[in-house]
Structure 1
Amino acid sequence: GSHLDADGWFATGDVGRMEPDGRLVLIDRIKDVFKRDNLLVSPGAIEKRLRAHPAVAECVVVDYPDKFAGAVAAAFVVPEPGFEDRQIDEIV
């Protein structure tokens, strides 16, 4: 039998996206994602974006059940010294 899905992709268990120039960018492992409104969400990818901000010292993103969306993300953020909670709220 074929290991390709209906669209011709090999099922590796990875999550990626196609760039406009045709490159495939791998984002995360599928086991590390959750579904929100039938879309796969990667907590690791969200954490990476948050950590890139100068106000963020550390963070973790988790999912929790939501009766309408299936699951939603929650970010727990430790700000860098000198940054205020409102500045963190603006980026989250």
Structure 2
Amino acid sequence: MSTADESVRDVVRKLVEDQLNVGGRELDPDDDLWNLGMTSLSCMGLMLNLEDALDVELPTELLQHETFRSVNTIVAAIDGAREEDASTLA
């Protein structure tokens, strides 16, 4: 895992912890966020916060349960969106 991956993961974890108000509990990257209180509304807010914090545009089709299942699935979606952006620029 690269330092860049760790940075994205740290940002995602922090934003998820803030969005779900987990009370100082540090999330495991594979915790099921829906079991911790994620709703469709909090998912939308999280997506907007992630886009702002990481300067990335996530396609609206990623706004779904499986994409926002865990910190790891969110990081994978961000990585995928960045790769797609890079490929369209090439």
The question of a shared fold, defined as TM-score above 0.5 by the shorter chain, is answered with no
Q: Which has the higher contact order (CA 8 A, sep 6+)?
A: 2
Q: Which has the higher helix share?
A: 2
Please give the TM-score of this superposition, normalised by the length of structure 2.
0.30
Q: Which has the higher strand share?
A: 1
